[in-house]
Amino acid sequence: MKRVEELALEKVLICDGAMGTELQRHGLQPGECPELWCVEKSDAVRAIHQDYRQAGSDIVETNTFCCSRYKLRKFGLEERVAEICLAGAVLAREVAGADQYVMASMGPTGEFMQPIGLESEQSFYDAFAEQAAAFAAGGADAVIVETMTAIEECCAAVRAVRDNTDLTCIASFTFDPLSDGRYASMMGVFPDQFVKAALDAGAHIIGANCGLGAEHMLKIVEILVATADGKPVMAMPNAGMPILESGVTIFPEGAEQFGVKAAELITAGASVIGGCCGTTPAHIAELKRIVSR
């Protein structure tokens, strides 16, 4: 198969939807480590991957979002990073087969780099490199460095992927709307600043995920496309802006509404598209219908 970034210049590629809510549907309890299910409850993770594949996704995303040594330390699992990342990639590869891509999820550490925090750039790089090597060994085609808010952390992750593997590297930030109509990450990074830094670090594809529904995502995609220097752009919006009902976070956008807005993202130039929080196989099936018509 062609590399992901090459095919994304020729056609729209469809990613999976949310993993966390699907794990909860299969019985994940509060306080459990979702990534450990790749080892201990692999059948459930495999079933989720299969549901998204049947819905029409081209890319299977691994259940490894919080699989760095920093995140796994909270569960006493920091010595099992390579094992769990490898298992996550292998599961996705089994479902993807020879005709789909596997995209390994690499989320933020939850820590801050010096001088704001205590962690060094080298320690971040080493943690991400550990994950990247395991993803490659498990058969991944790409790594998505996702839900990032800090330039330094994102670039350390991108460099770790590029230096230690031959995998496609996707860099994806999360932005929030500002009162003046612009968008910035929690750490004050604007979309155009992110694009330049991510490309300089070696990202093959740049994008945005989470945080916002497709309506806000449209404005961000327009900025990314305008500044991406011809590189493919990814969009992974939530199923609408989250709202709190009786203490429970609800994502209000149904599959049909999501599909209508996703079509606008494609028109704006997004060539890799899927769903983040609140999206389901039904959302991806609707996205497939939109792309195929």
Q: Is residue 6 part of a domain?
A: no
Q: What is the percentage of the chain residues whose pLDDT exceeds 90?
A: 89
Cα separation of the two ends of the chain: 24
Q: Please give the pLDDT value at position 256.
A: 93
Q: Is residue 57 part of a domain?
A: yes
Q: Please give the pLDDT value at position 252.
A: 78
Please return the burial class of 43, using the count of CB atoms within 10 Å of its CB with bins 0-12, 13-18 and 19+. Answer: exposed
CATH number at 277 reads 3.20.20.330
How far apart CA 192 and CA 138 sit, in angstroms, is 33
Count up the domains in the chain and report the number: 1
Which residues fall within 8 angstroms of residue 176, CB to CB, at 6 or more apart?
183, 184, 185, 186, 211, 212
Q: Which residue has the higher pLDDT, 165 or 214?
A: 165
- The mean per-residue pLDDT over the stretch 181-185 comes to 95
User: Worst-scoring range by mean pLDDT, 22-36, 240-254, 268-282?
Assistant: 240-254
Residue 100 binned pLDDT confidence (cut-offs 50, 70, 90): very high
Strands (E), 176-287: 176-177, 183-184, 205-209, 233-236, 243-245, 248-250, 272-273
pLDDT tens-digit series, residues 69-96 = 999 999 999 999 999 999 999 999 999 9
pLDDT above 80 (res 284): yes
pLDDT above 80 (res 242): no
Domain encompassing residue 144: 12-22+33-292
Helix (H, G, I), strand (E, B) or coil at 168: strand
Q: What is the percentage of the chain residues whose pLDDT exceeds 70?
A: 99
Secondary structure (DSSP) of 61-96: EPS-TT-SHHHHGGGT-GGGHHHHHHHHHHHHHHHH
Q: Please give the pLDDT value at position 213.
A: 67
Q: Please give the pLDDT value at position 211.
A: 77
Q: Is residue 200 part of a domain?
A: yes
The DSSP output letter for 1 is: -
- The mean per-residue pLDDT over the stretch 146-166 comes to 98
Residue 245 binned pLDDT confidence (cut-offs 50, 70, 90): confident
Phi, psi (rounded to 5 degrees) for 126: -60, -40
Q: Please give the pLDDT value at position 131.
A: 98
Q: Is residue 61 part of a domain?
A: yes
* Alpha-carbon radius of gyration of the chain: 17
Q: Is residue 1 part of a domain?
A: no
Phi, psi (rounded to 5 degrees) for 241: -75, 130
Q: Is residue 230 part of a domain?
A: yes
Q: Please give the pLDDT value at position 150.
A: 97
The DSSP output letter for 34 is: G
pLDDT above 80 (res 248): no
Q: Is residue 27 part of a domain?
A: no
| pTM as predicted | 0.95
User: Worst-scoring range by mean pLDDT, 63-67, 151-155, 159-163, 177-181?
Assistant: 177-181
The DSSP output letter for 246 is: T
Q: Is residue 28 part of a domain?
A: no
pLDDT tens-digit series, residues 167-181 = 999 999 999 999 999
Which residue type, as a one-letter code, is found at position 25? R
Mean residue pLDDT across the chain: 95
Residue 136 binned pLDDT confidence (cut-offs 50, 70, 90): very high
Decide: 88 and 70 in contact? Cβ < 8 Å. no
